[in-house]
Structures are given as structure tokens and as C-alpha cells.
Amino acid sequence: MDERTEVRLPDLGEVEEVTVTAWLRQEGDTIEEGDDLLEVETEKTTFVVEAPQSGRLVRIVKKQGDRARRDELLAEID
């Protein structure tokens, strides 16, 4: 049975909402825990979201240009 891990937007302090600016990995890529997955941008700065575990990036939920709120689902790792 598939054991998927959800990649969610982490708590970035006072930031409530971000824009996904770039995916650094593509669906199907094998990734290691701590790898940079995507960049998100606030009005003031850019953050990099890291992979919470090793595996394969099986689904990207938020595409480039989409907005996301804290703890919102960004992708899934198998």
C-alpha cells in the first residue's frame, strides 16, 4: 500500500499567504529528505520549502503562480 507524505507550507512566522514561484523538482523525481523542492514568495522575501522525507515526488498540487496559505497541501511524496 502506498505510504504518501504530504508536503505542506510550513509556518513562516507572520506570513499568512505566499505565491509559488518555482518548482525545483518535477513529478516523478526521486528526492532526498532536506532537498529543496520549491520556492515561494511573500511581499518581502523568497523562501525555499524542503522535502520532509526521501522518496519520489508523485503529485504537485500547487502549480507555479498559485497562492498557498500556511499548512496548505503543496505536493505528495511516495
Tens digit of each residue's pLDDT (9 = 90 or more) over 31-49? 999 999 999 999 889 999 9
Write the burial class of residue 39 (CB in 10 Å: 0-12 exposed, 13-18 middle, 19+ buried).
Answer: middle
Written as nine digits, the cell of 45 is 522575501
**Residue 49 CB neighbours (<10 A):** 22
pLDDT at position 2 is 62
Average pLDDT of the residues of the chain: 95
Given the candidates 2.40.50.100, 3.20.20.10, 3.40.718.10, 1.10.3720.10, the CATH classification of the domain at 5-77 is: 2.40.50.100
pLDDT, mean of residues 58-77 = 97
Residue showing cell 511516495: 78
Expressed in angstroms, the distance from the first to the final Cα of the chain is 10
